[in-house]
A and B are shown apart, each in its own frame.
Chain A
Amino acid sequence: MTDTTVPDAGPTGRPLGRRVLPYAMLSPAVLVTLAIVFFPMVQTAWMSLHDYVLFRPNHFEFVGLDNFRKALADEVFWISLRHTAIWIGITIPAQVLLGLATALLLNQDFPWRPLARALIIIPWALPSVVIALMWVWIYDSNYGLMNDFLLRLGLIEQAVPWLARPDTALGAIILTLTWQGFPFFAVMILAGLQSIPRSYYEAAAIDGASTWRQFWHITLPGISGVLVTAILLRMIWVANSFDVIFVMTGGGPGYSTYTLPLYAFVKSRTNLDFGYGSALAVLFTLLLMVVVLVYLRRTGKAVSR
């Protein structure tokens, strides 16, 4: 609390006090975030220009853009980038579609609707380590639920080690992430659906519009704002979160589930190569900034209104 920094608004001090007060009340939060967010960020950018390996503490040599040049020539960088694109490109649309279907269902009248609405959100509240743990168990090649289920349906002939095969590992992780993230869309879209005035549907029904046409001309335009915001937000989160992958496969087998943030993390954590790791993190951030800027422009408009 800032009680002490705020000048008492006496009769003479009032104008000054009034001008300073907003900033005084903001300063604790701003100063702390400067210290623990912006300062470290600048430091990452600074480290990325150096040859810096943690187990050689006295070696901190300026190398300019060498780390970035190294990254662009690094095969694993391109593999990770491709996986990041595939991963976002499949996970987000899958989450949107499933979320939309769920939201439309939750917007109907049925007796146990409050219960369904409360339960649907559970995956979102779980720690990612626990999510990873339970899906590793589901994908287990000997006793996993997935194999059991598919074998019984006759869709596969023998048990598949989902996470150990390079061609199925990424897909398996995408399914997990879809499961984790679609409730978020369901909840956001539901809020959008509930903001559409009922009278629109009444008018359309009087004009004889079919359910499909009502969906296309009323529902979809009505939720498009929420949808775009949610997609942008989710893209940023999905791109950022690599903890589920890290616990499930650690990037393997081989490089088949490497994504960019994971690569940056593994590079720094296991190889202690902080210079190169920082460069990868900076590159990833620059790519992500495109999405972030679009999002900020949308929100910025909402804030200034």
Chain B
Amino acid sequence: MRLRKLPLWRRILTVDLPMLTILAFTLGPYAWMFLTSVTPEARLFTEGPSILGATFENYARLFRTVGFGRNLLDSLIVAGGTVVVGLSLSITAAYSFSRFEFRAKRLLMMQFLLINMFPLVLLILPLFVLMRVLGLLDTHAALIIANSTIAIPFSVWMMVSYMNGIPRSLDEAAMTDGCTRLGALRRVILPLCAPGIVATGIYIFITAWNEYLYALTLGGRNVRTITVAVQTLIGEYEVQWGLLTAGGIIGAMPATVLFLLVQKRLISGLTQGAVKG
């Protein structure tokens, strides 16, 4: 926070330029990847990536020959399913944490926090064994269940923080008017935290979309998400960087776009707890 307004040239030197440098570092690799993806394969190794004569030939090949469309669909089903499971299980739990005092409340809350801290390697082996026993390997259900291990506790915590922001007097007013608890939750609280629910849902979607290790271990030939597909490309088309980077751009697209849409609300939810704590 500065009080005196800086002269323009000093501001440019001490704020704008350093900020631009950091942004160049942040976005450079992404821009480079995009540039590579629109450069014709033949020109890539003679002249290097360039925007001149840009083509979407690599993207077309990605869908025509590699079959990226199916991978996108798999990712969509898995990520969407995880959102549904994560949100539906956590809404009532979050309401309970936010509105009631009861025994073992702290312990139960800590339990949800603790889950997010456990290393994924600890879960991935038994989940593999479990899915094999249940015959769920290589199905969407397996990946949705695995992703829910992260999604449920995360969304419980986010929802608690959103619901705490809604005054209790609103529930009480609704109940005086004859609503049951669940009625109050459905008619009053849910509509009010709709923006929070959407942000949480989108965050879950992004994490599930980006997830790779579960998808690699529990997926297979039938269900291959976009992240696994991109990684497989690296192995199969080793030097065809135009194709590879096109795959990267497609894989990153939904998450990036969604994130930019909700980033403000999401970040306020994420940082709230930390600032208070």
Interface residues of A (CB under 8 A from B): 1-3, 6, 8-9, 19, 21-23, 25-26, 28-30, 32-33, 36-37, 39-41, 43-44, 47, 98, 101-102, 105-110, 116, 118-123, 125-130, 132-138, 140, 142-143, 145, 148, 179, 183, 187-188, 191-193, 195-196, 198, 201-202, 205, 225-226, 229-230, 233, 236, 239-240, 242-243, 246-247, 261, 264-265, 268-269, 274, 277-278, 280-282, 284-285, 288, 292, 295-296, 298-304
- Chain A, Cβ-Cβ closest to B247: A133
In the complex formed, the residue of B with least CB distance to A280 is: B121
Contact stretch, chosen from B59-67, B166-174, B193-201, B252-260: B252-260
Q: Which of A143, A246, A304 contacts B241 (CB 8 A)?
A: A143
Q: Could you write out 9 A-B pairs with CB less than 8 Å apart?
A: A26-B92, A29-B89, A40-B123, A40-B130, A101-B18, A128-B210, A130-B248, A145-B32, A281-B121
Chain B residues with CB below 8 A from A6, complex form: 181-182
With a cutoff of 8 Å between Cβ atoms, the chain A residues found around residue B270 in the complex are 187
Instruction: For the complex, give the distance between the alpha carbons of A41 and B244 in Å.
Output: 36
Write out the residue numbers on chain B whose beta carbons fall within 8 Å of the beta carbon of A281.
119, 121-122, 125
> Interface digits, B99-132 against A, CB 8 Å rule (1 contact, 0 not)?
0101001101111111101111111111101100
Q: Which residue of B lies closest to A282 (CB)?
A: B122
A3-B182, A137-B36, A285-B122 are known contacts. Are A303 and B110 too (CB-CB below 8 A)?
Answer: yes
In whole Å, how far is B119's beta carbon from the nearest beta carbon of chain A?
5
Q: Which residue of A22, A196, A284 contacts B96 across the interface (Cβ within 8 Å)?
A: A22
- If the complex has contacts A28-B93, A29-B89, A201-B3, are A138 and B32 also in contact, measured as CB distance less than 8 A? yes
B197 to chain A, nearest CB (A): 14
B100 touches A33 (CB 8 A): no
Q: Is the CB of B180 within 8 A of A134?
A: no
A25 with B252: CB separation less than 8 A: no
| Residue B152 at the chain A interface, CB threshold 8 Å | yes
Residue on A nearest B213 in the bound complex, by CB = A243
Chain B, interface size category, equals 35 or more
- Give A204's nearest chain B residue, CB to CB: B3
B48's nearest neighbour on chain A, judged by CB, is: A143
**Are A302 and B273 closer than 8 Å at their CB atoms?**
yes
Task: Compute how far the CA of A121 lies from the CA of B26 in the bound complex, rounded to whole angstroms.
Answer: 8
| Residue in contact with A265 in the complex, picked from B15, B90, B121, B156, CB distance below 8 Å | B121
Nearest A-chain residue to B256, judged by Cβ: A125
Check B45 against A127 for contact (C-beta < 8 Å): no
- A47 contacts B126, C-beta separation under 8 Å: yes
Residues of A within 8 A of B245 (CB): 133-134, 137
Contact B148 A295 (CB under 8 A): no
Would you call B118 and A37 a contact (CB within 8 A)? yes
C-alpha gap A295/B113 in the complex (Å): 10
Chain B residue numbers with a CB within 8 Å of A205 are 3
Q: Name B115's contact: one of A33, A183, A299 (CB within 8 Å).
A: A33
In the complex, whether B176 has a CB less than 8 A from a CB of chain A is no
**CB atoms of A25 and B118 under 8 A apart:** no
- Interface centre among A25, A44, A193, by most B CB within 10 Å? A25
Nearest residue, chain A, Cβ from B75? A127
**Which residues B8-36 have CB closer than 8 A to chain A?**
11, 15-16, 18-19, 22-23, 25-30, 32-33, 36
Residues of B near A292 (CB, < 8 A) are 114, 117
Among A29, A32, A125, point to the contact of B255 (Cβ < 8 A). A125
A135-B29, A179-B29 are known contacts; what are 14 more A-B pairs with Cβ within 8 Å?
A22-B96, A28-B93, A29-B90, A43-B129, A98-B22, A130-B251, A133-B247, A187-B271, A201-B2, A243-B212, A265-B213, A277-B125, A300-B110, A301-B277
Q: Which residues in B have their C-beta under 8 angstroms from that of A239?
A: 119
Residues of A within 8 A of B148 (CB): 32, 36
